[in-house]
């Protein structure tokens, strides 16, 4: 609470500052431009106005003596004023949101959007109090070009496609017919009342009324989503309201433009031809916009097919092209909102599949950041805009009647359309859902934006319309928003089931799909399922082939995807568990050990392979940033490869403490700066390696000095070997080869190497070092390498060092998190032999020069 | 496969349907069916059909015309081959399973009644049905819908989905790019999700329980055209 208050205080200060800056900036900026050389106007003046400005003012004081002496620093408010104010306002709005979110018990009762508007009132009041004029308003250009697109793009992109297209018919009916109905009925009724004398003396004609009706007809997605997301209504109701609000925004803008054209044309010149043209234009604009959006969506999909080379700006393409689709539609006077909506809807599937996982989550996240950010700004400014005497023109009749008619016609429209729709719907929209739908007709910023677009020369009562629109927005967002939740609870609206992700549900829903199609085929009707199936086939055959990367196309399957996600989740909880118990060793060295286990105890169906599965997923999650060729639904091959890559570098590192640091480092994404790559600390391994090598050398020299034994040559090889091992997956082969070419004097027989290369089933590596550490593996015992005997016992001890914890880990195994038991054993491939051999037998590797290269290549290729 | 325009059908085939129904010798449905209606009388037959929950008369006539058009042997029953001639079913991964579902155990013919009984599973549940307490549970109740789905897996009819049975279905459903091992682990996990008594298979009760939150009523219903 105290924190909140402090925040509020800070906010106020900030606001004062910004107001003063604006004040100072707006007034004296021309002065500074014109009378710059003469006197120090800007800075000094401001310093005088506000104490909080003091320090700035002081620095500003030095400012203006450009001719006489070189200024060290200058005060250039005018230079930065616009972007500065923008940034400041963005900050202020977001802090408002922060404050609101901090008070959770309030947002439970009053929706966030309503609170933001109220904050807007306060901020507007402060500005008003200071300036006596409303300096900041939501102007239509800013709104339509910079605030709205990202919100619509986000909603389109995160649209649940199946649900959306499944209810497309109903949504279209509500969005098109419903909106036209709302606009026409409101316009006509208001006009009728005007004629009847309910509003006194107003200079508004029928066309203007219709124009007003059209601008206020649309349910606003921003407001609706903000409320409905908090209420968690069932998904059909949600998609109906949401889809409707999204599409009818487009429709209402089109309608608005048509009527606007009619108004400018003037009543007298409108004849049947013009009306027909208007209707045609309506459809052309709406469908043209949607089509344009689809084209852009496909363009994005195509582009993301080839952007893996520029992974770091890959996500940006989505935003730029999405925005371009908006602007292009605007340029062609098509519906820009529909365009960007369908752009998002059409591209989501393909870009999610084409782009690397990290890029996909970036897109998702940034999308949300933008959308949420501008949503916040919009609401705050909706509030701020209200505190302005200019726009407030009160006309009781007009305003109250508008409110009344909007409410009533929405109800009538919804019930009538639903009644028609229910005759054709499989699952009828229930009465209660209809009530919520009609009550959920919140108006929002789009209406306000359109109202401010009105041309004052043509529409005399623009201010009245703006003020009415604002009132409608406040009324619906605040009052209906607040009462929505109790209403939903009171009417016991079916809420969305919070369902866990389970494989069987996914599988079953697929089964249902196939079943319904089959039944429709058998009963010989062309129904909804039939169409969907045909579409899926078409998509599979053409769209996917053209728009998706080949590698992705092969490896996607939704059941498997769920499986992957579940594993990932378990892996995360496993890691969390490991960390909670303070034992990173437990988590880390387990992997090596388990892998060991996995190889030899193939068919062990207990917890062990489960953990391996878990670990591999975990590693893939962690190292996904650094993956080279990435598949969104990461196939298990990828995991193993990854795991191998990780283990390869890790297991050689013998220093435990450091390893722990390495582990943490990876988690914290401690990476070396690079402009074009976001690689998570691959480089750190090199540091490790150097350190390790040094330590080893020291130890050896120490030992040899002490014991009088000269270290075997092989040990010195080891470091080189290490290095070769160390090279990260991607570029290792060449390096490794080059390295080895200089390594002619190697002392080991070729046979050993070939033995390794051929070792799929048999394991020729001397595991004796490990065996010394207590891991019993009968497979190795008969296979003693002749070289093993040469190794001095202390070296064996040394090498065995890293393995020791895995023994401990073995003891701990029974305490693995309980849900791990649910993990199914992962695929066990022959490759795991390679990976095992490489990772788990550092000592073995050092003796054997050829194998790593081929085996690594193996792993990569698979 | 000839699909006549449904618009024409309703009028012309209505008559045809009735006429055909009159003359067609219809073998009594197998013992699995509920109260044995007198199969000889066409009117009663129809009553029984509406009772098996395909309400409207026009739906019945439409489906009957479909039935006859599928029935290449023109013997009043459909064989597996008749179903297999439907081209779309050939590319449906579960096509054969669904065809099998039409045939009661041990039979390889299905008459119109049996045909309708299966289709009746897919009729949406209507409001008035929810309230009225039916004497026998209608075929399109949630449980029966789920039972139908369950039977698709449960080939050996032991009321359990074993790992192998699940694997078979999974194999049909997923692409070739998933290896057997992966599939096996998916199957294991799926069973673990549902299995509560630890017998490594899914019983019908477990099946119902695990799909508790799924809107089966909606997901397993289609609108039959009138």
Work out the number of other CB atoms within 10 angstroms of the CB of residue A399.
18
Axis-axis angle for helices A445-453, A462-474 (nearest 10)? 180
For residue B83, the chain A residues in CB contact (below 8 A) are 522
| Maximum CA extent, chain B | 57
Q: How confident is the model at residue A720 (pLDDT cuts 50, 70, 90)?
A: very low
Residue with the larger pLDDT of the pair A655 and B185: B185
Q: How confident is the model at residue A8 (pLDDT cuts 50, 70, 90)?
A: low
- Residues A323-335: what's their mean pLDDT? 92
Task: Give the model's pLDDT for residue B223.
Answer: 75
pTM: 0.65
A/B interface, count of CB pairs below 8 Å: 158
Among the listed residues B69, B202, B57, the one whose alpha carbon sits nearest the alpha carbon of residue A504: B202
Task: Give the model's pLDDT for residue A416.
Answer: 93
Predicted confidence (pLDDT) per residue in B73-112, tens digit: 778 888 888 888 888 787 788 888 888 888 877 777 888 8
Residue with the larger pLDDT of the pair A803 and A545: A545
Q: Report d(CA A483, CA A475) in Å as an integer.
A: 11
Residue with the larger pLDDT of the pair A13 and A26: A13
Task: Give the model's pLDDT for residue A249.
Answer: 83
Q: Taking the mean position of all CA atoms in its chain, how far away is CA A795? A: 51
Q: Report d(CA A327, CA A316) in Å as an integer.
A: 16
Predicted confidence (pLDDT) per residue in A437-488, tens digit: 888 888 888 888 888 888 888 777 888 888 889 899 998 888 888 888 888 8
Please list, in sequence order, all residues whose beta carbon lies within 8 angstroms of the beta carbon of residue A807, skipping any fewer than 6 positions away.
Answer: A773, A774, A775
- Residues A299-320: what's their mean pLDDT? 88
For the ranges A506-520, A680-694, A711-725, which has the lowest average pLDDT? A711-725
Residues A285/A332, Cβ–Cβ less than 8 Å: no
Burial of A133 from C-beta contacts in 10 A (0-12 / 13-18 / 19+): exposed
Interface of A with B in 54-93 (CB under 8 A): none
- Judged against a pLDDT cut of 60, whether residue A616 lies above it is answered with no
- Helix or strand or coil: residue B91? coil
Predicted confidence (pLDDT) per residue in B133-173, tens digit: 555 667 777 888 888 888 888 888 788 888 888 888 888 87
Q: Report d(CA A267, CA A270) in Å as an integer.
A: 6
- Judged against a pLDDT cut of 60, whether residue B56 lies above it is answered with yes
For the ranges A125-129, A733-737, A753-757, B14-18, which has the lowest average pLDDT? B14-18
Residue with the larger pLDDT of the pair A521 and A467: A467
- Judged against a pLDDT cut of 60, whether residue A596 lies above it is answered with no
- Residues A346-351: what's their mean pLDDT? 88
Task: Give the model's pLDDT for residue A598.
Answer: 39
Residue where the block lists tokens 């039935």: B67
In degrees and rounded to multiples of 5, residue A252 shows phi and psi of -70, -35
Task: Kindly report the average pLDDT of chain A as a whole number.
Answer: 69
- Residues A704-727: what's their mean pLDDT? 49
Predicted confidence (pLDDT) per residue in A801-830, tens digit: 444 444 444 444 444 444 444 444 444 444
Task: Give the model's pLDDT for residue A14.
Answer: 52
Task: Give the model's pLDDT for residue A443.
Answer: 87
Query: What number is the ipTM of this complex?
Result: 0.75
Q: Report d(CA A626, CA A1) in Å as an integer.
A: 42
- Judged against a pLDDT cut of 70, whether residue A672 lies above it is answered with no
Among the listed residues A375, A374, A371, A381, the one whose alpha carbon sits nearest the alpha carbon of residue A119: A381
- Judged against a pLDDT cut of 60, whether residue A648 lies above it is answered with no
For residue A499, the chain B residues in CB contact (below 8 A) are 213-214
Q: Residue A824 and residue B224: Cβ atoms within 8 Å? A: no
| Maximum CA extent, chain A | 115
A518 in contact with chain B, both atoms CB, cutoff 8 A: yes
Predicted confidence (pLDDT) per residue in A744-780, tens digit: 444 444 444 444 444 444 444 444 344 344 444 444 4
For residue A524, the chain B residues in CB contact (below 8 A) are 3, 66, 69-70
Task: Give the model's pLDDT for residue A667.
Answer: 43
For residue A862, the chain B residues in CB contact (below 8 A) are none
- Write out the H or E segment, with its range, that includes residue B79: strand B77-79
Task: Give the model's pLDDT for residue B194.
Answer: 82
Interface of A with B in 794-853 (CB under 8 A): 821-829
Task: Give the model's pLDDT for residue A640.
Answer: 42
Residue with the larger pLDDT of the pair B101 and A329: A329
- Write out the H or E segment, with its range, that includes residue B109: strand B109-111
Name, of A226-235, A306-315, A376-385, the range with top average pLDDT: A376-385
Please list, in sequence order, all residues whose beta carbon lies within 8 angstroms of the beta carbon of residue A844, skipping any fewer than 6 positions away.
Answer: A765, A766, A767, A769, A785, A837
Q: How confident is the model at residue A355 (pLDDT cuts 50, 70, 90)?
A: confident
Task: Give the model's pLDDT for residue A777.
Answer: 45
DSSP per position, A26-48: HTHHHHHHHTTTT--HHHHHHHH
Among the listed residues A561, A591, A194, A539, the one whose alpha carbon sits nearest the alpha carbon of residue A397: A194
Among candidates A426, A502, A503 on the partner chain, residue whose Cβ is nearest the Cβ of B221: A426
Work out the number of other CB atoms within 10 angstroms of the CB of residue A738.
11
Predicted confidence (pLDDT) per residue in A778-805, tens digit: 444 444 444 444 454 454 444 444 444 4
Name, of A223-227, A311-315, A722-726, the range with top average pLDDT: A311-315
Q: How confident is the model at residue A339 (pLDDT cuts 50, 70, 90)?
A: very high
- Which of B120, B128, B186, B225 should be substituted to probe chain A, the one whose Cβ sees the most A Cβ atoms within 10 Å? B186
Task: Kindly report the average pLDDT of chain B as a whole number.
Answer: 70
For residue A636, the chain B residues in CB contact (below 8 A) are 179, 182
- Judged against a pLDDT cut of 80, whether residue A834 lies above it is answered with no
Alpha helices in A306-453, H assignment, sequence order? 314-331, 336-354, 357-386, 396-422, 431-439, 445-453
B198 → chain A, closest CA residue: A822
Alpha helices in A62-103, H assignment, sequence order? 77-102
A520 in contact with chain B, both atoms CB, cutoff 8 A: yes
For the ranges A140-144, A252-256, A541-545, B29-33, which has the lowest average pLDDT? B29-33
Name, of A428-432, A780-784, B22-26, the range with top average pLDDT: A428-432
In degrees and rounded to multiples of 5, residue A68 shows phi and psi of -70, -45
Q: Report d(CA A693, CA A691) in Å as an integer.
A: 5
DSSP single-letter state for residue A727: S
Q: Residue A426 and residue B219: Cβ atoms within 8 Å? A: no
For residue B213, the chain A residues in CB contact (below 8 A) are 497, 499, 505
Predicted confidence (pLDDT) per residue in A193-209, tens digit: 888 877 777 777 888 88
Residue where the block lists tokens 């019908």: B204
- Judged against a pLDDT cut of 80, whether residue A11 lies above it is answered with no
Task: Give the model's pLDDT for residue A797.
Answer: 45
Predicted confidence (pLDDT) per residue in A551-587, tens digit: 776 666 677 777 877 888 888 888 887 777 765 555 4
Q: How confident is the model at residue A365 (pLDDT cuts 50, 70, 90)?
A: very high
DSSP single-letter state for residue A184: H
Name, of A12-21, A49-58, A356-365, the range with top average pLDDT: A356-365
Name, of A405-414, B36-45, B109-118, the range with top average pLDDT: A405-414
A495 → chain B, closest CA residue: B213
Residues A799/A778, Cβ–Cβ less than 8 Å: no
- Judged against a pLDDT cut of 60, whether residue A282 lies above it is answered with yes
Predicted confidence (pLDDT) per residue in A377-391, tens digit: 999 998 888 887 777
- Judged against a pLDDT cut of 70, whether residue A274 lies above it is answered with yes
Task: Give the model's pLDDT for residue A367.
Answer: 92
Q: How far is CA A44 from CA A17, A25, A522, in A?
A: 15, 12, 86
Task: Give the model's pLDDT for residue A326.
Answer: 94
């Amino acid at each position: 609470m105290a924190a909140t208050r402090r925040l509020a205080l800070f906010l106020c200060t900030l606001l004062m500052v910004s107001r003063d800056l604006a004040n100072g900036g707006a007034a004296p900026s021309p002065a500074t431009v014109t009378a710059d050389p003469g006197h120090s106007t800007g800075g000094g003046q401001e310093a005088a106005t506000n104490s909080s400005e003091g320090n700035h003012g002081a620095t500003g004081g030095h400012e203006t003596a450009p001719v006489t002496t070189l200024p060290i620093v200058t005060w250039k408010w005018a230079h930065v004023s616009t972007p500065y104010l923008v940034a400041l306002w963005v900050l202020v709005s977001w802090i408002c949101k922060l404050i609101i979110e901090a008070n959770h018990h309030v947002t439970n009762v009053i929706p966030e959007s309503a609170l933001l508007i109220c904050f807007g009132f306060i901020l507007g009041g402060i500005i008003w109090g200071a300036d006596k004029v409303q300096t900041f308003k939501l102007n239509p250009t800013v709104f339509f070009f910079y605030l709205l697109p990202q919100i619509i793009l986000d909603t389109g992109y995160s649209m649940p496609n199946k649900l959306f297209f499944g209810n497309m018919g109903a949504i279209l009916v509500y969005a098109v017919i419903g909106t036209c109905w709302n606009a026409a009925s409101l316009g006509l009724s208001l006009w009728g009342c005007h004629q009847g004398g309910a509003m006194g003396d107003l200079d508004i004609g029928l066309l203007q009324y219709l124009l007003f009706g059209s601008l206020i007809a649309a349910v606003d997605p921003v407001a609706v989503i903000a409320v409905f997301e908090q209420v968690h209504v069932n998904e059909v109701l949600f998609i109906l309201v949401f889809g409707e609000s999204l599409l009818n925004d487009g429709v209402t803008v089109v309608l608005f433009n048509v009527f606007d054209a009619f108004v400018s044309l003037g009543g007298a010149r409108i004849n049947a031809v013009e009306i027909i043209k208007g209707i045609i234009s309506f459809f052309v604009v709406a469908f043209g916009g949607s089509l344009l959006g689809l084209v852009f969506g496909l363009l994005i999909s195509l582009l993301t097919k080839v952007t893996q080379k520029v992974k770091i700006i890959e996500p940006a393409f989505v935003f730029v092209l999405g925005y371009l689709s908006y602007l292009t539609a605007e340029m062609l006077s098509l519906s820009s909102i529909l365009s960007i909506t369908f752009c998002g809807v059409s591209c989501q599937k393909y870009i999610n599949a084409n782009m690397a996982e990290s890029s996909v989550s970036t897109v998702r996240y940034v999308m949300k950041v933008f959308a949420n950010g501008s949503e916040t700004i919009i609401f705050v400014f909706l509030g701020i805009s209200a505190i302005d005497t200019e726009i407030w023109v009160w006309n009781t009749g007009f305003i109250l009647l508008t409110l009344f008619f909007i409410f009533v016609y929405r109800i009538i429209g919804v019930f009538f359309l639903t009644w028609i729709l229910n005759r054709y719907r499989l699952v009828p929209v229930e009465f209660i859902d209809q009530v919520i739908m009609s009550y959920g007709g919140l108006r929002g910023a789009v209406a306000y934006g359109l109202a401010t677009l009105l041309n004052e020369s043509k529409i005399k009562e623009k201010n009245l319309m703006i003020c009415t629109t604002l009132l409608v927005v406040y009324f619906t967002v605040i009052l209906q928003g607040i009462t929505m939740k109790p209403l939903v609870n009171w009417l016991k609206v079916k809420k969305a089931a919070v369902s866990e992700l389970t494989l069987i549900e996914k599988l079953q829903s697929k089964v249902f799909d196939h079943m319904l199609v089959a039944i429709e085929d058998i009963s010989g009707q062309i129904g909804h399922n039939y169409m969907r199936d045909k579409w899926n086939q078409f998509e599979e055959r053409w769209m996917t082939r053209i728009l998706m990367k080949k590698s992705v196309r092969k490896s996607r399957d939704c059941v498997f995807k769920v499986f992957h996600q579940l594993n990932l989740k378990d892996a995360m909880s496993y890691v969390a568990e490991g960390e909670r118990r303070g034992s990173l060793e437990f988590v880390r060295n387990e992997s090596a050990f388990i892998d060991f286990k996995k190889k030899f105890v193939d068919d062990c169906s207990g917890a062990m392979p489960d953990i391996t599965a878990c670990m591999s997923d975990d590693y893939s999650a962690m190292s996904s940033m650094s993956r080279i060729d990435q598949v969104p639904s990461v196939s298990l091959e990828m995991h193993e490869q990854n795991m191998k890559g990780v283990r390869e570098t890790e297991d050689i590192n013998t220093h435990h403490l450091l390893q722990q640091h390495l582990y943490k480092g990876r988690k914290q994404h401690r990476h070396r700066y690079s402009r074009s790559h976001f690689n998570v600390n691959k480089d750190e391994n090199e540091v490790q390696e150097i350190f390790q090598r040094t330590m080893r050398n020291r130890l050896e020299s120490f030992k040899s000095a002490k014991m009088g034994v000269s270290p075997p040559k092989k040990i010195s090889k080891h470091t080189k070997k290490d290095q070769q091992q160390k090279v990260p997956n991607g570029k290792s082969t060449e390096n490794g080869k080059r390295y080895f070419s200089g390594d002619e004097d190697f002392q080991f027989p070729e046979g050993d190497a070939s033995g390794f290369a051929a070792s799929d089933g048999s394991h020729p590596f001397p595991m004796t070092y490990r065996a010394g550490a207590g891991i019993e593996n009968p497979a190795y015992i008969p296979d003693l390498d002749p070289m093993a005997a040469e190794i001095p016992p202390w070296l064996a001890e040394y090498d065995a060092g890293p393995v020791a914890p895995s023994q401990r880990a073995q003891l701990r195994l029974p305490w693995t998190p309980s849900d791990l038991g649910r993990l199914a054993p992962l695929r066990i491939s022959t490759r795991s032999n390679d990976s095992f051999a490489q990772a788990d037998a550092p000592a073995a590797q050092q003796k054997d020069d050829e194998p790593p290269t081929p085996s690594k290549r193996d792993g990569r290729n698979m | 496969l000839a699909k006549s325009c449904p618009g024409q059908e309703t009028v012309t085939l209505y008559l045809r349907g009735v006429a055909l129904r009159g003359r067609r010798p219809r073998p009594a449905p197998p013992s699995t069916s509920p109260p044995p209606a007198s199969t000889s009388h066409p009117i009663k037959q129809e009553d029984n059909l509406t009772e098996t929950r395909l309400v409207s008369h026009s739906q019945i006539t439409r489906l009957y015309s479909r039935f006859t058009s599928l029935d290449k042997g023109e013997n009043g029953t459909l064989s597996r081959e008749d179903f297999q001639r439907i081209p779309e079913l050939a590319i449906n991964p579960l096509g054969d399973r669904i065809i099998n579902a039409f045939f009661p155990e041990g039979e390889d013919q299905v008459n119109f009644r049996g045909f309708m009984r299966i289709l009746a599973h897919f009729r949406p549940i209507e409001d008035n049905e929810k309230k009225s307490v039916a004497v026998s549970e209608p075929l399109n109740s949630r449980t029966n819908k789920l039972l139908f789905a369950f039977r698709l897996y449960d080939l050996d009819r032991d009321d359990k989905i074993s790992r192998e049975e699940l694997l078979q279905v999974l194999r049909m459903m997923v692409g070739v790019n998933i290896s057997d091992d992966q599939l096996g682990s998916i199957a294991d996990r799926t069973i673990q999700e549902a299995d509560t008594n630890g017998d490594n298979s899914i019983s019908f009760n477990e099946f119902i329980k695990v799909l508790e939150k799924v809107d089966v009523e909606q997901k397993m219903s289609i609108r039959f055209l009138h």
